[in-house]
Amino acid sequence: MRQTVRYVVKRVTISVLMMVAASVLIFAVLRALPGDPVLARLAGSQGVDQNSIQRLRAEAGLDRPLISQYFSWVTGILHGNLGVSYFSHQPVSTLLAQRIGPTLELTILAVVLSVILALPAAVAAAERPGRWIDRLVTSFAAAGMSFPPFVAGILLILVFSVSLRWLPARGYTPFTSDPVQNLREMVLPAIALAVGAAPLVFRYLKGELITAFDSQYVRTAEGKGASRYQVIVRHALRNAALPSLTMIGLIVGYTLGGSVIVEYAFGISGLGSLSVESAFRRDYAVLQSVVLLVSAMFIVVTLAVDILTSVLDPRTRVHQHG
Amino acid sequence: MAELPIRATLATSRRRTWRTRSRPVSIIVFGLIVAACLLAPVIDRHSPITPDPANAFAPASAQHWLGTDELGRDMLARLLYGGRLSLSVAGGAVVIALVLGTAWGLLAASTRGLADQLLMRTADVAMAIPQILFGLVCVAAFGASLPSLIIIAGLLLSPTSARMARAVVIQEMTLDYYAAAVACGTGRVRLMATEVLPNVAPALGSQAVINAASAIILEASLSFVGLGVQPPQMSWGGLLQQGYAFLFNDPSYAIGPAVFILLTVLCLNLAADRLGGASLLGPGRAR
């Protein structure tokens, strides 16, 4: 027990340090060049006098030293105050709160869909490795992995929205106001992400399953006359699932990254499209916080998966961070 | 190694034959794509940027093999010239990631201790930020010109390469020949340059091929949202963005760039997968 607590404390500390380091990195890159977001925003408009430029810069806090800008951002995060958007003048925390829902929904749907697709495929392939079914599914996986999610998304729109007219090409309706419309809109983007994510799960799960099928306990289970179904579900899958949990952290990362462009392509107003918009407008106040938030989500999921794995399987603690 | 799972070994050996047989296909197709882009002016005499409004959205014909776009510009010419840009971003990024990543990993592997920790934790942090988001941050900061895109993509790919380089170099350093050479008094730098680096070259090469695929995707993603190279310059991602705007008017528009991106990434992934079995390339490392 004490060992578990020590492990959890260590992993949490590392994750917090990672987030702090990520915030420094994001901030440093955005401020590395003397380029000024206020000037960039005013570039189109003419006849702006020096005074109003000074006033806008002061409003955005850009006239203060970099270190002080960084610390006011970080202390603001701890107080839930992320500053205001240079562009819309809305509080950044409000923007993030408005946009996080669709991204969470899309990520969860895509991860669930990937597991649903990968699980039977991995079982079928691992049962008879090298046979035609394994080769077929493995080739599909190799092809799927090469689909950037947004390219898959555009091809899906072409088939299901443009040609067949079954599903809407873009838009987002909150689940709470119209569940059916919400799902109709989320199907294609979720598939677009799963096309690339499912093969990752498949590859890993298949490897684990092949090991399980070759193990003594599966041979014992077969020997005592357990049915094929029981051997697969009760023995092989249960043992293969635990190591594959690590995989979930990885595909959440893949999905969060992929959803940036997928949200843009499907007109879903989530964190991804917010990051694209703010990068376009050089709205650093929004951009730095969105990117940090998404990175933090990824770090937290990885942390949760690691802790869960170690609690469920104490053996993994020995191998961690050698 | 005491008890080899029989089913798995059979499968891998079968897969290996299949792999070696299909390796050339991916490389040949990729070579054809590169050649077509380089020979663009020979293959298609149309200019990719001269508009011809009278011919807008023309279907495929003997004159325009893949039809024309919204301004009557030849689609095939635009795809091939766009490919030049996409491929040069990928090529430049691969070189940067190879040099920077190898130096980074080599430095970490040969120093160990605090410097190693520092270098590798930096890589971890950079990898905790989803690549495309870090890309958006860099483009917002450094702009979207061709050189800055190449540098951004190269920098983003470096941490993964560094981690891989460190792992293979450390593995190499555990081998007897390394200890023997150190015992004979061979200088570390010379040993790294003349023995270790050539031995890990296949692993680095296969990582470089994976990086090329990632760079193609990264450039396409940024250009697709309008944060890549700006018109009149064109790339596959940029053409996909234009095709996306006309999805309902001219569905075939988006298919061209989508197919080029997919085919290139697929070929590179397959080629990297084959190269991954380092025994194929590395003399003396055959298992």
User: Sorting pLDDT into bands at 50, 70 and 90, what band is B10?
Assistant: very low
d(CA A241, CA A227): 20
**For the residues A176-185, what does the mean pLDDT come to?**
84
Residue B128 has its nearest CB partner, among A146, A284, A295, at A295
pLDDT digits (tens, 9 = 90+) for B114-137: 888 889 988 989 888 999 999 999
With beta carbons less than 8 A apart as the criterion, state whether B254 and B67 touch: no
With beta carbons less than 8 A apart as the criterion, state whether B256 and B79 touch: yes
What pLDDT shows up at residue B284?
34
Residues of A in contact with B131 (CB under 8 A): 257
What pLDDT shows up at residue B11?
47
With beta carbons less than 8 A apart as the criterion, state whether B106 and B201 touch: no
User: Which residues, other chains included, contact A92 with Cβ-Cβ below 8 Å and sequence gap of 6+?
Assistant: A82, A83, A84, A85, A285, A286, A289
Residues of A in contact with B221 (CB under 8 A): 148, 150, 260-261
B46 vs B16, higher pLDDT: B46
pLDDT at B21 exceeding the cut of 60: no
**Could you give the angle at the alpha carbon of B11 between the alpha carbons of B5 and B16, nearest 5°?**
125
Residue showing tokens 């990175």: A295
User: Sorting pLDDT into bands at 50, 70 and 90, what band is A320?
Assistant: very low
Residues 109-168 of A with CB under 8 A from B: 129-130, 134-135, 142-143, 145-148, 150-151, 154-155, 157-158, 161-163
The one-letter amino acid at B88 = S
pTM: 0.85
What pLDDT shows up at residue A41?
60
pLDDT digits (tens, 9 = 90+) for A55-99: 777 766 777 778 888 888 888 888 888 888 887 888 888 899 999
A55 vs A119, higher pLDDT: A119
- Whether cis (ω within 30° of 0) applies to the bond prior to A37 is no
User: Which residues, other chains included, contact B140 with Cβ-Cβ below 8 Å and sequence gap of 6+?
Assistant: A30, A278, A279, A282, A284, A287
Give me the interface pTM, i.e. the ipTM. 0.86
**For the residues B141-151, what does the mean pLDDT come to?**
88
Residue showing tokens 């950079």: B126
Q: Is B129 left (phi over 0), alpha (psi -120 to 50) or beta?
A: beta
Residue B224 near chain A (CB below 8 Å): yes
Q: Under an 8 A CB cutoff, do A210 and B11 touch?
A: yes
